[in-house]
A and B are shown apart, each in its own frame.
Chain A
Amino acid sequence: MKGLPVLSLLLWMCAVYFVGIYLFVGGFLLVRLEVNRTSTCGDVLQPGEEPGDFCRAEPRFRRAVLLIIDALKIDFARFDPNNTEPKPYENKLPVLEETVSFRPSHGRLYPFRADPPTTTMQRIKGFTTGSLPTFVDVGNNFASSAILEDNLIHQFGQVGKRVVFMGDDTWENLFPKRFHRSLPFPSFNVKDLHTVDNGILQHLYTTMVGDDWDVLVAHFLGVDHCGHRFGPDHPAMADKLTQMDGVIRSVIDRLHNDTLLVVMGDHGMTDTGDHGGESQKETDAAIFLYSPSPLFPTPPSQSEPDVVPQTDLVPTLALLLGVPIPYSNVGQVLLPLFPSHGQTEGAVGVPSQLEALWINAKQVNRFLETYSGMAKDIPPESLSQLKDEFSRLSSEYLSTVREGRSPSPKLAASLQAYLTSVRDTCRATWARFNPLKMAAGLAILAFACLTCFILSELSLVLIRENGPGLKAPVVVALMMGGCVAAGQLLTQGYIETAWCLAAAALSSELLFLWRARRSRTVTVANNGSKAPKYTSWLTPRSLLVPPLLVPLLRCASLLSDSYVIAEGRAVTFLVFSLALYIPIHLNWDGLLLPPSHDPLKAAGLLPSAALSPSTVRKESSTLLGCLGLLIGSLYLSLSFHGCREEQGSCQPSPFLSPLSRLQDSQLKNLHYILSVCSLGLWTYLLRRCLRHYGNLNSSGGTVFTARWILPLLSVSLGLHWAVSATPEDSFRNLAELISLAQLALPRAAFFLLALGLLLIWLDPLTVFVKTRAPATARGPSLPPPRYRASTGISPQAELHHLIPQIYQRMRRSLDDGEVSGGGEADNRPAVEAYGLGTVYSAPLLLFCGLLGIGLLLLHPEGMALSFLLLLLEMGALLHIHASSTTLSGLHGTYTGGFYVPWTPIVLWSLAATQFFHATGHLPTFPSIQWSAAFVGFPDGHTGTILPASLVTLNTFASHILFAVGCPLLLFWPLVCEVRGNRGGRACGEEGEDAVMEMRLRENPQQFSSALLQLSTRYLFILGAQVFASVCAAAILRRHLMVWKVFAPKLMFEASGFLVSSLSLLIGVTLVLRVDVAVGRWFKRLIPDASR
């Protein structure tokens, strides 16, 4: 068979998908490196002053109250007295306007511009660290969302200020144990407008009157939730804003002279009340600064900022409250709050505008140096420009200070310009979706799905005629990639790899599609009979059949947060529906029941049955029995699900917690016995299956693996569970032994697994050849074996006759129950081959089985049950597929190829997702099972690659198993074929019929095209799911749940696709490897036999 074209086409397809995913993710998931350093009071920021001086000076304000009103849009805060018909959200906060106009030096209102993503968590991070948080802050601990970067709360704690917090519990997750006192309230339920706000109001005033606080943070959520629920244009918003107006008034009444009040929103909202994106409605919040003592040294003037970037709050608050500016801050101080040079007499402890700017600039420059040393994502030329600018400014400032002359106003302006340009550079790098990249990724993925679909339809043409082959697309891809690279080099001076890849992928896809289209028309023209096959596949009627409707529903479900949250059950529902569709459809075609003797058939209305009634009855009962098994395991697998935090009243499966955490020893023993039993059953079923098809007779590497390594692996796994489940204090004297076993057993299992997989790879043949008649006895006196008839014609022709012979011998000897088949010495051919009929599927099955045990090692013990269900479901699916193939009479038409229809492939891919959930995984970061990284490495790791790959293997275990086992769908109908034939057919034809997988060997072209079609169809379904979740992330990037549901889902779906496609490639390669080995085996056999 043609292995190379299959593999190269698959590789190309995967590469195109990867490029699409890479581009989209690169444009959507902004990544930034966290700097783990913190600023201290000892930082030398002022020239000529002693270190450590910074925090000791009396600050401008001793205390501060931060009232954060979530989603307080600037439109809500403004007051227009001329507006006689205010909308529900207009003119509802008169207190701000009154203060600003009557006491202009005490309070002012500014628009407060947030950086995208405008979601609450990222915003809180932003205005406490002064940085521009992205979705993925590398260095962030995925398991918890605590802020590790330097931030205001940390700095307040360092100088001993007592921070009291109340409100949105996001803060509690971001700053665990950092508050002097904290009163978090649940923020999750968007429909609940009052719990958080009323909770705050219960405590706010009493706390303010008391004296055990220095910084008070209160985060109200009502306005935001009101927006999400009703939108801004709703009477409920008016009520909520009026309530907030009262709150601000009461707080102002209780303020002391040494206290600063900041009222602000973390982001705005769109007209529908959502946020998350980068439109001005979402980014423009309000900030209101107020103090009972005069706050602004100068009256409002032209130099007032039009808009205050959100990062600017951090350095301003830090300098006003006398703490160091957090290390990673890129904001600049809000100048109107600081006295200009020469005005400093009145204010105590306030740096002048220039001083503040200088401290700020120095800190920003220090951060920039550290960051550019760690990461390379800031363009080098703008970096060097910034550096030059800073050194020029610093020399100018230092000389000004040293000479004591009054600074020129130009200096302050250029310091400001420097800070602005730093922030703009950082923003361009971190805080901007790249819509162009996102669109390019979407386009590439869409075309990739289309290409994949067409590839699966055209697989036969491709293999047979080398039709629209791969050479031209690859050449064009390389050329386009090179052209774009050269163009970039000429115009920009540097190469952006993403765009070269995009150009390459897109051009190769388009060329392939164009050529496929042309070749289709050519095929149609050449071969009229094939025309309907190629022209009918894109009509809506053929696309809306249930096997394609179900994946369509599945993709649509990825666009809704509720369905993503309930994904496990939704997928099970779909699998169940599609599984039920199989017998219903068969019955609709009249194939499920044995044809009754009615006049219909006599009249020739029904297709004459190819199968005898008893065969039909047997196959139908197999099908229904396996359907029952499938449904049973589907239903049982529901009890292994984990729980998302969004699912309120959900209880995670008790099997998910490791045995060592169980207290009740009886329950523990029960769980252990259950797990070991299912592990034993897994091993037994595998061996049973292999033995049944005669694959355990030879002495090759695969058989060795099946005989020895598989049981050994299970034994070591069972022992490992026993050891890790023992309570730590029970066997004191054995502690050392136990810790040794904890290290050695899993490592031994890893070793055995690797050895087994390697042996399967090196020697995949499970065929046992037995030459019963010695060479001397093969004289002319013996009747010649039947295959002799073809000797001398051609090796191919001989092969055709030889294989059924060999196969029949093997079956017969098995039927007799004797491995040696001793009773048939005479008149029989001299060569017997055991296990030739399952030569392809046996190594693949064993490979999957071993891999399954290896992956089970990385899971909690209780998951053994779930893995057993997985195996049962796999087997049930395979048998259902085989039976329905037999029943629908596809066996008779091998000239048409070995095509696997959509239904089993869709079921297979959905089952992978279903068992992702049924092995306790969820598409959220907190649910990743980190303990997998410590299996066999209880003391941790030094590198990151090994633990990361262990966790990946754990997370995508079911994806891996189903993808590697995918080619089994092609083999299983052939493996099961013999059952049907033995029952009903006349024995005369058996020589030609019962050859099982050797059919594939006889039709190498159809074998390769069927393999290609199967894998591309599987890839298509996986790719369509990725495409759907990419669409969800792109369309719903403003959605409340985007960072909680859709973005994690996208990342899991994309990595799942990556892992699945690689595993699929491994499975296909293994099949090709077996094919090569079988070819060699025949080459060795035929010269022997024909001699």
Chain B
Amino acid sequence: MARIWVYAEMTAGGVVEKTALEILTKARTLDGDVEAVALGPGATAAAAILGEHGAKTVYASDDPVYGEYVAWPASHALHELTKEHQPNLILFPSTYESRDVAARLAARTGSTIMSNATDLLGASSAQTAIFGGSLLVDVTLEGPDPKIVLVRPKSFDAEPSGGSAQVVPVEVAIPDAVKRSKRVERIVAESSGPKLEEAPVVVAGGRGLGNRDNWKLVEELAGAIGNAAVGATRAVVDAEWVPYALQIGQTGKTVKPRVYLAVGISGATQHIVGMKSSDRIIAINKDAEAPIFQLSDLGIVGDALKIVPALVQEVKSRKA
């Protein structure tokens, strides 16, 4: 039977990155023994939640070295563990941290590395979505084990199954030679309102808003709705209207709110992959041919600069 590992990235706060729990939930339905590797402060304690989500064994180390230096110590430890336990497949969350860990590991093992998986089909097969999610591609992974796959956030719902995991302490020595990319400081951006990835409503703006001054319309609408987060397209971020932390899409965040309201967004592939799984999608755009309308439950072809102020009033009156 295949041995399937999930890299349970530990966040700065000492908890498991949520995507790892999503991946475990799916991995436990595959034909294989599912185990997790957690490296960094909080790892041993995290074995409980990893077990609940399907890991039978958790290889854990609470050594702070994994947080103090980016990627290299973790990929080094994973490589040593891989030689000892010989997993067939290692699944990583598609995050800034895990992407570097997975890549360095793949370069060491010479294994295939697949990014942006949106579904898992077996120990050597995964699915990805291309062209804004309009096509699904089944990929067969070849070459030496472990196959390495990065899975996009929110590809699955995380659900506990009530299991528990055996903890195996990781005792890999980390040589100084891999302690070279030093994390000096962590800065958390100030933000108000709900987190973009967790908000029940996301109001997102694109270049169709015309200029930076009109961005306040998006914020006013989110404020009027309440419990809504503000997001943006890459074009708007590149134009420096808003910080990168608001970017939704391929290179930004993946969101899955109950309602996604796209204002002046045409629906470029790069954006769609980050929001297409939203429960309901509303779009406002001048161009009736904009691809965003193909995904929309409700689409209004018109001028966002007129519709949004009116919508703010409509929302306020319905909430009153």
Q: Do A and B bind each other?
A: no
B residues contacting A by CB (< 8 A) are none
